[in-house]
Structure formats: C-alpha cells, structure tokens
Amino acid sequence: MSKHQASHFATQAIHAGYNPIQHQGALTPPIQISSTYAFESVQQGGAAFQGDNDRFIYARLGSPSQHILERRLAELEKAEAALATASGIGAITSAIWSFLKPGDELIADLSLYGCTYSFLEHGLKQFGVEVTYLNLTDASTLINHISDKTKMVYSETPTNPNMRLVDIAALAEITRQYDCKLMIDNTYCTPYLQNPLSLGADLVVHSATKYLGGHGDLIAGFVAGTQEDIDHIRMVGLKDMTGAVISGFDVSLLLRGLKTLHVRMDRHCQNAQQVAEYLSTSDYVKHIFYPGLENCSQKTLANKQMRLPGGMIAFELNASREQSAQFVNALKMILCAVSLGDAETLVQHPASMTHSTYTEEELLEHLISPTLIRLSVGLEHIGDILFDLDQAFESVFSADRELTISA
C-alpha cells in the first residue's frame, strides 16, 4: 500500500499533529500542566524569546499539548495556523483587540451571540472603535457602507439565535478590496460542515465549548487564519491584552472531543432534520428557520457553503411571549439551558434568557422575535425528542385553551 498524507476529516480529527511513538507510545496526548519551561542555557532562553528556536517558554504562550491541539484545529479548518483560548469570547476578543484601534470601524451583522454584542457595545465602543450593525444577509448593504476606515467585518453564519445565513464568499469579495479583515464565527457549523477560510474569510473563530468539545464539560475557543495573523493574535491580543489562556486539562478534553466530532455531527444533523420537518407541520409554529428544509429561503446558499444543515433550529411560536416561555418550561427531557452542541437536547427562549438584556426595540432591531425558541438538537433517540416536543405543545396549547395569536 502506498503511503499518502491523510486528507479525510475523520482521520485528521483523530491523528493530525500527534505521533504516539514520539511520546513513549501514549495513544492519548499527555496533559501538560506546567506553567513554565526550563532552558539548557541563558543563550537558549534568549533565542526562544527572540523567536529563533521553537522552545516553549511560558504556558501563556503555549504548551506541547496545546501545540498538538492547534495543529489539529488548523488542519480541520484548512488554515495555516490556529490559536486555542480559554473560551469562545476569549478567542473573539483576543482577535479583535489585535487588529483594531481608536478611530477604526467594525461592521457586524444584526444578529449576534449575546456576549459578542455586549463586548462590541461595552468594550470596543468605549475605547473609540466605531461599531456599525448591518443586515449582512444582503451583501449589497456592505457595499453601500464599507469605507477605508472599516478594518473588520464580523458575522456568524448561521447566526445566533435566529439561524440567518450570510454569503461568506460574497462578503469576502467586498472586504478584499479594502484593508479590512473578514472574521466569521463558525461555532454553529464546526469545521466539519463549513470552512469559512476556504470561502475567502481572513479569520474564523469558534466557541469550542459547543460541538467541538461536545460533552458539556469544558470551556474553550479558538481562532484560525494565516500564520502571520495567528502569531500576531498570540503575542498581542492573547499575551498582552486578554490573557485568555486555555488550561492543559481543557486541551486534553478538547482533543478527546474532536475524535468523535464527525460521528456526532452526522447524528445531530440527522435528528435536527427530522425535528425541523415535525415542527414545519405544527399549527403552533409560525415560522421555522432551518437550512435543511426545502422551503428555507436560504437553502441555495446553505447548499453552496455548508456540507450539512447542522444541528441548530430556531422557530417562532404562533403564540404570546408568555406562552413561548411556558412551552420551554413544559418540556421534560429536553433541558432548559444555554450553550449548545452537547449530547443532550437543549432549549432556550432568547428574549427571556440570553438576550433578556435587550430592550424590546433592540430585540426587533436585531431580528429576534419575542416568541423565538432556539433548539440545540442532541443525540437522544429521535422518538423521545419528538415525544417531548409534542407533549409540551399539548400542555400549553391544549384543545380546551384558546390559541393566542401574537400580533
């Protein structure tokens, strides 16, 4: 059999960046918890600080096990390099702080993860960076606004929590005409379903807490891009500004989670497709947002840039805001919790939970309906997931109750 470089996602997720023979045959990479690393001489240490050798210096800059993880993440995202961080917001803030200064503009999509929005509002704006929110599902809105002062365009796709898609390639075609970086949050899709860098993005960020870890037992994030950009983020945004350093134990948990990512994502997508089809036939559901449905308005774009439609579903109930919260409370097996991508099916009511700090006007401005439900479809048997949804609908909207149609 001829030797060749492994190129399939499943193989990379299990093997990339690690050779057991180089570690006394240990099948699993060792956990590195050392905070500092010794040198053989002052000269060797000096060379390390100058970047003239590849010796590890201090855990804030990386460790042997973190290096393995970062090589694997870079392979999966088809990037030159990656940087692992202590959280998803740690990756986002470390990257953004590294490239923006007072007077610059960042353009973001209207719909964002709540903590990302809070960082832009409470962090960047207070330090003199202009933040503009646009509906980036229509690339022409960016064409009409971008200027020489725009240094970064930021978007999720699909967006949290309402599952809107942006055309990564179309945005990249615009940003590359300016001195402007395009950063895409790929948390919902994972590298298994979508590779923003291959579509023209400059940076891709993840909350690795979600699907990449997959078991609800770690907090981590990562950013990937060119070697030059990642080196800059490591030495500026991470080292000097956020200090969002991933722990050795979380490195190990994340390496473990990556090994089953492709298997889990296939099942997440399979279950989500069936749940979406069930919801699309319900009289209690006003709108459903899932790119796997044939009547999804953005299905063509989904097919273009996503390999599968994912495990996340958003839907608006044909009800009041209060009844929407009651529906979440009526679920029994499905757990009311923030986060996503775990083995368990998780549900939340954004207007009452993750985006509860928004005013009513801000909810509407950022396209978040007060009856919107976000569902992270897990790995349970599909029959049990559907049964729980069905009983919750019946509990809240039973025949002896008058269905309230929201205005």
Residues with active-site annotation: 60, 113, 185, 210
Rounded to a whole number of angstroms, the distance between the first and last alpha carbons of the chain is 66
Look up residue 369 and give its two tokens.
Answer: 């309906």
